[in-house]
Amino acid sequence: MRDVYHEELDSIGRTLIEMTGLVGAAMSRATAALLDADLQVAESVISADDAVDALQHELDSRALDLLARQQPVAGDLRTIITSLRMSADLERMGDLARHVAKVARLRYPEIAIPEDLRATIAEMGRIAGELARKTAEIIEGRDVNAARELPEDDDAMDELHRALFRALLDKTGEYSVETAIDVTLIGRYYERFADHAVSVARRLIFLVTGERH
Amino acid sequence: MRDVYHEELDSIGRTLIEMTGLVGAAMSRATAALLDADLQVAESVISADDAVDALQHELDSRALDLLARQQPVAGDLRTIITSLRMSADLERMGDLARHVAKVARLRYPEIAIPEDLRATIAEMGRIAGELARKTAEIIEGRDVNAARELPEDDDAMDELHRALFRALLDKTGEYSVETAIDVTLIGRYYERFADHAVSVARRLIFLVTGERH
């Protein structure tokens, strides 16, 4: 019985890694859709988010079922609760990738991002993909050291986010209100995506060490 | 022993209601700070959010402790897990109220919102306060019927959110990029606040009936 139980726990861990891979790929593809005004890619990101939501529901039911049937204590209990919280972060990261893709779709065939801001958005997309890749490794290896380094990537994201606002404000008159709205929302989607990746890393640190932050 | 346990469960419920009251008051006061450019109120909303975060940490530790010590099953287990999720929603609602107050502080002594959009923002603030008030009642009374009606208030919030964008876009040239950024972010803070209130209501429905949505 305990073996089936630990297999279940491992399988929950694998689902978290799978979700992380999916949301990372979604944000990278949403970025490409946004910068190339690629409607087909945008549509596929939007519809692929259902798979992330389904994985979350499935993971949550399995975790709740384990809690109810096995009444785990100490470490296993913490693992299950942490998994529920990570899955909520990951589900939200999927939503944010979908939001980016929706802006791409809304403005198609135009490119929502003005030319001189595209390099910044491309870099935000690259960091988002990198954060997801590292987050998957952190979960897989229960890698506390790597988890402690993740906020550095988030700092880089925050800096790009500020740069985006500065660029919008510096060239007043050059950008339309519509562009200001799109860029403001998109910047926030990337920033929140990064925040949730850091949140997953923090939860991993708490899981392994018992430390908060 | 079981009595202490059920007292603990009740006390977790009371903490959720207290958190809901705090975040509702925070959003109402943040709205006033924003529309009156009242720096003192803005500062007090920003610093008061620490109390919400502290309540969340305290609630979460108590809930995890109950899970570990009492190994609850069925209904009690669901109550504890749902409480953890509600506290995460409520903590986020507190952050969003703080974000609104920070925009008020950033633009002080100016009023961040242009005159002709203030009525819309005032109404969004009113609905946010109303949503929080109803959410507290829903938790307190485990009121599934009221919980099912909450999305109507959220629809009203979404409609105001769309009206805000329409107003920004209709009068192109009249608003600065800075105003467009502020209004876009603030609109999103109210919208997300409402989404989280609806999420709490949905969790209550799940808790009481076992139904998702």
pLDDT for the residue numbered B103: 98
Q: Is the pLDDT of residue B172 over 70?
A: no
Q: What residue type is A17 in one-letter code? A: I
Is the CB of A177 less than 8 angstroms away from the CB of B168?
Answer: yes
- Alpha helix positions (H), chain A: 2-36, 39-70, 74-107, 118-141, 144-170, 177-209
Encoded amino acid at A13, one letter: G
Tokens 């109210």, residue located: B190
For residue A149, pLDDT beyond 80: yes
Query: Which residue in A has a C-alpha nearest to residue B70's C-alpha?
Result: A71
Contact B81 A68 (CB under 8 A): no
Asked whether the beta carbons of A131 and A72 are under 8 A apart, the reply is no
Name which of A60, A69, A181 to mutate to probe chain B: the one with the most chain B Cβ atoms within 10 A of its Cβ: A181
CA proximity to A200, closest of A1, A14, A17, A12: A17
Q: Which CATH number fits domain A2-209: 3.40.50.9100, 1.10.287.620, 1.20.58.220, 1.10.12.10?
A: 1.20.58.220
Backbone angles phi, psi at B63, to 5 degrees: -65, -45
Q: Does B74 touch chain A (CB under 8 A)?
A: yes
pLDDT of B63: 94
Per CB-CB distance under 8 Å, the chain B contacts of A178 are 169, 172
**What one-character DSSP code corresponds to residue B31?**
H
Report the C-alpha gap between B120 and B187 in whole angstroms. 10
Q: How confident is the model at residue A6 (pLDDT cuts 50, 70, 90)?
A: confident
Quote the pLDDT of residue A172.
Answer: 65
Q: CA–CA separation, A153 vs A156, rounded Å? A: 5
Of A73, A175, A212, the CB nearest to B177: A175
Residue of chain B minimizing CA distance to A178: B169
A25 CA to chain B: closest CA distance, Å?
25
Given CA atoms A195, A197, A200, A201 in this order, what sign does their dihedral have?
A: negative
Using the Cβ of A85 and the Cβ atoms of chain B, whether some distance falls under 8 Å is answered with: yes
B78 contacts in chain A (CB < 8 Å)? 64
Each residue's pLDDT tens digit, B115-161: 999 999 999 999 999 999 999 999 999 999 999 999 999 999 999 99
Residues of A in contact with B181 (CB under 8 A): 165, 168-169, 180, 184
Radius of gyration of chain A (CA): 19
CA distance between the termini of chain A: 35
Q: Closest Cα of chain B to A39: distance in Å? A: 23
Instruction: Looking at the complex, report in whole angstroms how far the Cα of residue A122 sits from the nearest Cα belonging to chain B.
Output: 21
Q: Who wins on pLDDT, A7 or A125?
A: A125
Distance CA B185, CA A189 (A): 11
B73 and A77 in contact by Cβ < 8 A?
no
Q: What are A154-187's pLDDT values in tens digits?
A: 999 999 999 999 999 998 678 999 999 999 999 9
- Residues within 8 A of B (CB atoms), A 139-198 only: 165, 168-169, 172, 175-178, 180-181, 184-185, 188
Q: What percent of chain A has pLDDT over 90?
A: 86
Rounded CA-CA distance A30/A38 in Å is 9
What pLDDT was estimated at residue A3?
A: 78
- What residue ranges do the domains of chain A occupy? 2-209
Rg (CA), chain B: 19
Contact B85/A at CB under 8 A: yes
Residue whose structure tokens are 């988002």: A128
The structure tokens 């502020």 sit at: B182
Q: Is the pLDDT of residue A2 over 80?
A: no
pLDDT digits (tens, 9 = 90+) for B80-125: 999 999 999 999 999 999 999 999 999 999 999 999 999 999 999 9
Output the six-digit token pair for A6: 């630990």
Nearest by CB to B185, from A67, A176, A184: name it. A184
Q: Is the dihedral of CA B155, B157, B161, B164 positive or negative?
A: positive
